[in-house]
Amino acid sequence: MGVLEKIKKARVAAPVAAVELPLDQILQRDCIAAMRDLPAASIDMIFADPPYNLQLGGDLSRPDGSHVDAVTDDWDKFDSLSVYDKFTREWLAEAKRILKPNGAIWVIGSYHNIFKVGSAIQDLGFWILNDVVWRKSNPMPNFKGTRFTNAHETLIWASMGEKARYTFNYRSMKTLNDELQMRSDWEFPVCGGPERLKKDGVKVHPTQKPEALLYRILLACTKPGDVVLDPFFGTGTTGAVAKRLGRHWIGIEREDDYVAAARERIDAALPLDESALTTMQSPKSAPKVAFGVLVENGYLTPGVVLTDARRKHRALVRADGSLESVCGQTGSIHKLGSLLQNAPACNGWTFWHHDGPDGLKPIDTLRQTYLLATQP
Amino acid sequence: MGVLEKIKKARVAAPVAAVELPLDQILQRDCIAAMRDLPAASIDMIFADPPYNLQLGGDLSRPDGSHVDAVTDDWDKFDSLSVYDKFTREWLAEAKRILKPNGAIWVIGSYHNIFKVGSAIQDLGFWILNDVVWRKSNPMPNFKGTRFTNAHETLIWASMGEKARYTFNYRSMKTLNDELQMRSDWEFPVCGGPERLKKDGVKVHPTQKPEALLYRILLACTKPGDVVLDPFFGTGTTGAVAKRLGRHWIGIEREDDYVAAARERIDAALPLDESALTTMQSPKSAPKVAFGVLVENGYLTPGVVLTDARRKHRALVRADGSLESVCGQTGSIHKLGSLLQNAPACNGWTFWHHDGPDGLKPIDTLRQTYLLATQP
DNA sequence: ACGATAGTTGAATCTCATG
DNA sequence: ACATGAGATTCAACTATCG
């Protein structure tokens, strides 16, 4: 994109989002109606925890006779599967409309509704990126011994389309998981203890989600300052975590009790300060250093010989930062690496090594040294 | 059910199944056509591992340049999502017809197809009893760092309808799981080692399922002598396990190579005696806690300062569980510990301390507290 | 024989900025 | 829209080789 186009885009798109969005507010309205009034292509991420359509039969009691406080609220009653299906497709269609082209959606559900949700997501042209399993460390047992303990819920993460871009803070997730890639199965306890909102000793909301779950989702898939919409806000877990993490939020919720509890909760939430908010950056977004710059600055002298880790391949550094192999092939550190290995691609920074004071080291260490010396 | 009704049922139903079913055989035909020729209400359980419709893009290579052997077989290619949807509904409708009223179906899939499958299952009047997650202990990583590691697959277990009865061997499952209710998340390694069928050193089938998975399913949801149908038989994992467990099986498979491998495999399988059944046990994964999990769960707040035991080094906790030193170095608790000490390695859990109510404590104590609070 | 080390592999929707 | 080139990117389990 040229500079001119960038300016054009900024002129057209920016004011819409800045002026009209009800940032950091709860809209106390019907979910679909409220979404209809939001401008198109204005939201960075949607997190949705829609009604599960649980279809519970009669009352459920534990083996000791005590009553299980199930989800029997009116908002979870749908006359039939097809009514639920229609409702799902309606709110998802609005979600698609108001998301930015590079936005993304997360939806959580159980086996009662998640297949209908996922199917609708695909039919609407969203592109599923992962399904993620929330493994509950302390699920409610199956009191009757009739099935497997229902010990997990499923989340779907989808972008706007097959070719659409999306935000994924890969490094942050890897750091969060002790330097291993974050997997698609996450373990958290169900929401309880002091985190669980109560009024007169009774839980305010039947399905309050743990903040840890939202923390991981927002950290992984949004940037500071992004706008996160939760169309089924409940008691505002999404809002509370978004505020802590320096993201804007919009909540839609009808019920008085939930709205009141959410407001109180979010007001009390404390944003993290800037330095704590900083996360491990992917080298992608870190400043780029060209290999030639290291040569220019004397970190490597033209004429020096680089080798791979096993000293199988050798190449000469030339004045312009290109390499030359023994057999006369030339190219950038990446190109020559892939040529010599006969591989489709090669990261020259980690492939090529030089003889330093402490033995054979990847040239990437020189880049790190250079960055430390030059970055503020 | 009264005695009279039982006799009536036996008179009418039993001969049909006994005479016409091609027990313990592979039908080398198209899946839907072969099912059409099976009598109605004759099968106790169906296990199905249909094509996932992966829709892979171009080639994929590992960071070391090696090539990833993807599923590119014709049987996984469909022209569009709606064609796949239609195919799914067709074979599921036949499945519903041939299952006994008290029968059940299991289907395995990934996020590519499982939502379409689950949605069709519900529309056809099946009643979902559980969704079960197969957590892979050794999944293929996400080589490009673009998403979460796709570390699980999903299974759906459904009965013939809301009021239908079904087989669930609750006690067997509880025994198998060290006297704890079996949960809906199961951990197995992917199929490999000696179990993985090979011909001339090459895997026979790209997606052979582990026998442990089928073992648990058949043990949980069938009785000895039951008839289990697998409409996507592949190399016959279902048949081999059914034979071991004393269940009848029927397999449907088109490909010559798969059929030949399955025949040989099942012929070699040995039925277990009773005592052998009780020795199987579930692998219990040791609880691992990443440092970031403590941050997510509020055991440490981003912004808090950690020090070593002598308060010589200081570091700031950031939102993703990484640390930042006074001089701007960053990394995981282990990495930064080794950097600051100029040591080759460091156990961050014992190196870093925080100021707790009882003075300076290693952060490992927080991990212990977390484990106590969350492990059953 | 046994331990250490290197090599291989598994249902995968797997880059992005620039021109 | 498509081509180009820089450069970022992997975990656990099993198998083969070597000393």
CA-nearest of A343, A351, A308 to A326 is: A308
Whether A369 has its CB under 8 Å from any CB of chain B: the answer is no
Which residue type does A307 have? T
Return d(Cα A72, Cα A235) in angstroms, integer. Answer: 17
Rounded percentage of chain A residues whose pLDDT exceeds 70: 87
Residue A212 is encoded by which pair of tokens?
A: 């840890």
CA-nearest of B85, B72, B144, B146 to B112 is: B85
Return d(Cα A71, Cα A207) in angstroms, integer. Answer: 8
Residues of B in contact with A170 (CB under 8 A): 145-146
Name the 3-class secondary structure at A337: helix
Indicate whether A79 pLDDT > 70: no
CA-nearest of B11, B29, B10, B75 to B250 is: B29
Give the pLDDT confidence score for residue B12 in this predicted structure: 46
Computed over every residue of chain A, the mean pLDDT equals 87
Question: A183 pLDDT band (50/70/90 cuts)?
Answer: very high
B91 CB inside 7 Å of strand C: no
Q: What pLDDT digit, counting tens, does each position of B24-45 carry?
A: 999 999 999 999 999 999 999 9
CA diameter of chain A: 84
Indicate whether B294 pLDDT > 70: yes
Give the pLDDT confidence score for residue A16 in this predicted structure: 45
Q: What pLDDT digit, counting tens, does each position of A103-146 carry?
A: 999 999 999 999 999 999 999 999 999 999 999 999 999 989 99
Which residue type does A223 have? K
Contact B303 A275 (CB under 8 A): yes
Task: List bases, strand D, within 7 Å of protein CB.
Answer: 5-15
Which residue type does A178 have? D
H helices present in chain B, as ranges: 3-20, 31-36, 81-98, 114-123, 170-176, 211-221, 237-244, 256-268, 274-277, 291-296, 333-341, 348-351, 364-374
Indicate whether B283 pLDDT > 70: no
Q: What is the mean pLDDT of residues B217-226?
A: 94
Contact B130 A112 (CB under 8 A): no
Query: A314-317 and A323-325 as β-strands: parallel, antiparallel, unpaired?
Result: antiparallel
Q: Strands, E, within A112-245: which ranges? A: 127-136, 152-159, 185-188, 198-199, 202-203, 227-230
Whether A188 has its CB under 8 Å from any CB of chain B: the answer is yes
Gap from B193 CA to D1 C1', Å:
46
What pTM value is reported for the model? Answer: 0.85
Q: Is A167 exposed, middle or buried (0-12, 13-18, 19+ CB in 10 A)?
A: middle
Question: B7 pLDDT band (50/70/90 cuts)?
Answer: very low
Gap from A258 CA to C12 C1', Å:
41
Give the chain B residue whose CA is nearest to the CA of A343: B65
